[in-house]
Structure 1
Amino acid sequence: MTELEKGPRGQRRGRGARERILSASQQLFREQGINGTGMDQLCAVAEVSKRTLYQHFAGKDDLIAEGLRRFDPGILPEVFDRTDLTPRERLLAVFDIHAPLCPFIAAAVEIQDPGHPARVLARDYKKAFAARLTDTAREAGATDPEQLGEQLALLLDGASARSRVLNTEAFTTAAAIAVVLVDNAIPTAVTPAPAPTPAGASAV
């Protein structure tokens, strides 16, 4: 039988303390930033004692990194792994489902140390995301899939950053730009011109 622990308000809590801590950290980091979130506040929102928090996580750095690991481990499989969409449709569907407030960008902005685990995770994720875009662009027949993948990745990050700064929806505009980029990068099939009719022959 699992030992229960008491939260700061005296309620008896169970095995869900770790998940509550993670959920609270993700909520607070998203709403008020990493640097603006204190451990006392985090404990209050998660309804755990500070002792319990440190039993599960060594500190805020561990919480940041674990939250990023869980955010999108499969690199948007709900879009890239769909077989009911064409590669072109998958490239554009990314703009319908991509999170407007990207926690990887937020972590990279707030954390100065390039060797911090969260910065490393953010860098690796962004590279992996661009690679999936590039692979899909190659499937779609893009003449320069690396360029298209990088363009779409940059467009997504720009829309995410703009949404965060201005607290407004930027993905509708980004999606419209993506259509132009994709259509310009993927050549359409050219219908062969009819062969000229030989002189003296009647056209059928």
Structure 2
Amino acid sequence: MSALREKILNVASDLFQTRGINSTGVDTIVAVAGTTKMTLYKHFQTKENLILEVLKRHNQEFRDWLTEKLGQSSRTPDKKLQALFDYIEEWMAAPEFRGMPFLKASAEFPNEENPVHRLSTEQARQFRQYLGSLAQEAGASDPETLALQLSMLIEGAMLAEQMRRGSGAAKHAKKAARVLIEAALKR
């Protein structure tokens, strides 16, 4: 990947997270990146393509980070499921935390036919699927339901923390998750 393409992605990512996707024009992106529209469009044919690339990158980076965190511990699958919320809390406490891009993007592009909305929906589905695989490995009685419940807690906590830093939403979500996980793992 060229250094300029990388810079445009980084600038667009930061601006989309801090100002909003629809509020950030191509003129602003190229000005902050120190490039031209022609160069931006050489690397990303449309602003929509740039948005999609930013979303894909954030999703992959978060997934890689979480997988690495969960893999670092030699915990049993049920302990790994419990540890999930420790890592989510750590991520949300980081100064650079700005929420989950697919949540923001789906709100800014509510039309279900829009490619940005479709990708956001797919990323939310993949996240639930990831949680479902953790739940299944841990032996949850209904992994899909537990995954949906956990994703709702995580996404809700992220939105609450985005709206008010230091809200304590992650701690409350973790407490609720423990109850749900323990209930799902009872045999």
Fold conserved between structures, TM > 0.5 = yes
**Match for residue 70 of structure 1?**
57
| Larger displacement relative to structure 2 (142-151 or 30-39) | 142-151
Shift of 1:117: 2.1
The counterpart of 1:40, out of the listed 27, 31, 36, is: 27
Q: How many residues align?
A: 174
- Distance (whole Å) between structure 2 residues aligned to residue 96 and residue 45 of structure 1: 35
* Structure 1, unaligned runs of 5 or more: 1-14, 189-204
- Distance (whole Å) between structure 2 residues aligned to residue 151 and residue 20 of structure 1: 37
**Match for residue 128 of structure 1?**
126
Q: CA distance change for structure 1 residues 112 and 87 in 2, over 3 Å: closer, same or farther?
A: same
Structure-to-structure mapping, 1:17-166, within 5 angstroms: 17-73=4-60, 75=63, 76-79=66-69, 81=71, 84-98=74-88, 100=92, 101-166=99-164
Structure-to-structure mapping, 1:167-182, within 5 angstroms: 167-169=165-167, 170-182=169-181
Shift of 1:71: 1.6
**Match for residue 10 of structure 1?**
none
Identity %: 36
Q: CA distance change for structure 1 residues 82 and 117 in 2, over 3 Å: closer, same or farther?
A: farther
Structure with bigger RCO (C-alpha 8 Å, 6+ apart)? 2
Is the partner of 1:163 in helix, strand or coil?
A: helix
Q: CA distance change for structure 1 residues 85 and 117 in 2, over 3 Å: closer, same or farther?
A: farther
Is the partner of 1:151 in helix, strand or coil?
A: helix
Shift of 1:166: 2.8
The aligned amino acid for 2:177 is A
Q: CA RMSD in A?
A: 2.0
- Distance (whole Å) between structure 1 residues aligned to residue 20 and residue 73 of structure 2: 37
Shift of 1:83: 6.4
Quick check: which one's helix share is greater? Answer: 2
- Distance (whole Å) between structure 1 residues aligned to residue 30 and residue 166 of structure 2: 31
TM-score, normalisation: structure 1: 0.77
| CA radius of gyration, larger in | 1
- Distance (whole Å) between structure 2 residues aligned to residue 67 and residue 80 of structure 1: 24
| Larger displacement relative to structure 2 (26-35 or 110-119) | 110-119
Shift of 1:168: 3.7
Report if aligned partners of 1:162, 1:168 keep a CA contact under 8 Å in 2.
no
* Structure 2, unaligned runs of 5 or more: 93-98
- Distance (whole Å) between structure 2 residues aligned to residue 34 and residue 24 of structure 1: 12
- Distance (whole Å) between structure 2 residues aligned to residue 81 and residue 51 of structure 1: 43
**Match for residue 96 of structure 2?**
none
Report if aligned partners of 1:65, 1:118 keep a CA contact under 8 Å in 2.
yes
The aligned amino acid for 1:69 is K
